[in-house]
A and B are shown apart, each in its own frame.
Chain A
């Protein structure tokens, strides 16, 4: 089955800097790659997603890139703010949610 690895496990940046979180997946049939943000005591919230027919997607300060050949995808957050501090999860799915696999998460801390 699918295996998703996520790095780094913790990331600390200064406010205003950029943050990059990387994930790799094992199953070349995976075609949907969401990113979730989880704040303390809450459930994960979908922040951006990308499908395998697209190489990059942007939404304001957040962008995701996908390299299908290398089977890795990344989350980029620019101009980080303290409220970006949270745990971020990547995931990969083949055709439906029943087999969506999650990375272990990255704890991002943005220092003011």
Chain B
């Protein structure tokens, strides 16, 4: 069966520091991969999606970037964090043939 792993679960970083969040998927090949951000009491905002290695699409302009160095690995990065980058970051995957999204357990990022 397919599983998705995200780490770390929680992270506290100072303003101006770099960020690297990692997500890996097991049990499937060539998945679509996504990064979402969830602000407190709000819905999920799509940040990036990828349909293949090295292929990244950005939904909103921001201080973050994403990379997909391997088929089942998706990384969310920032060179310099802002206070506004605080939030709950979720990685998700889907297959090319099915529409359903499957989420990881998220990373709670607090920028201080």
Which residues of A are at the interface with B, using a C-beta cutoff of 8 A? 4, 6, 9, 32, 34, 36, 41-46, 49, 89, 93, 96-98, 100, 102-105
Query: Shortest distance in angstroms between B87's beta carbon and chain A's nearest beta carbon?
Result: 14
Question: Which residues of B in the span 55-112 have a Cβ within 8 Å of any Cβ on A?
Answer: 57, 90, 92, 94, 99-106, 108
Query: Shortest distance in angstroms between A96's beta carbon and chain B's nearest beta carbon?
Result: 7
Do residues A34 and B100 form an inter-chain contact, with CB atoms below 8 A?
yes
Question: A32, A41, A102: which contacts B105 (Cβ < 8 A)?
Answer: A41
Q: A96 contacts which chain B residues (CB < 8 A)? A: 32, 99
A43/B41 contact (C-beta < 8 A), A97-B32, A97-B34, A98-B57 known: no
Do residues A97 and B94 form an inter-chain contact, with CB atoms below 8 A?
yes
Q: B42 contacts which chain A residues (CB < 8 A)? A: 104-105
B38-53 interface bits toward A, Cβ cutoff 8 Å, 1 = contact, 0 = none: 0001111010010000
Do residues B101 and A34 form an inter-chain contact, with CB atoms below 8 A?
yes
Do residues B103 and A105 form an inter-chain contact, with CB atoms below 8 A?
no
Do residues B43 and A97 form an inter-chain contact, with CB atoms below 8 A?
no
Do residues B94 and A44 form an inter-chain contact, with CB atoms below 8 A?
no
CA distance A6 to B43 in the complex (A): 10
Query: Shortest distance in angstroms between A33's beta carbon and chain B's nearest beta carbon?
Result: 10
Question: B6, B34, B100, B104: which contacts A46 (Cβ < 8 A)?
Answer: B100
